[in-house]
Structure 1
Amino acid sequence: MNKKELKEFLDAKVEQYNRPDFITSDPIQIPHRFSKKEDIEIAGFLSATIAWGNRKSIINNANRMMQLLDNSPYDFIINHQEQDLEKLEPFVHRTFNGLDFITFIKSLKHIYKNHNGLEAIFATHAENDSLQKAIHFFKQSFFEIEHLQRTQKHVSDPLKNSAAKRINMFLRWMVRNDNTGVDFGIWKTLSPSQLSCPLDVHSGNVARKLGLLQRKKNDGKALTELDNALRKMDKNDPVKYDFALFGLGVFEGF
Structure 2
Amino acid sequence: MDHMEIVRASGRAADQMRAVRLERDVLKHALGSCVVEFGDTKVLCAATIEDGLPAWRRASRCGWVTAEYAMLPASTNRRTNREVGKRKGRSMEIERLIGRSLRTVVNLRALGEYTVTVDCDVIQADGGTRTASITGAWVAMHDALMAWVEAGKIARLPITGQVAAVSMGVVDGCELLDLDYSEDSNAEIDMNLVATDSGEIVELQGTGERTPFDRQRLNRLLDLGDAGIAKLVALQNEVTGFRD
TM-score by length of 1: 0.29
TM-score relative to the length of structure 2: 0.30
Greater fraction strand: 2
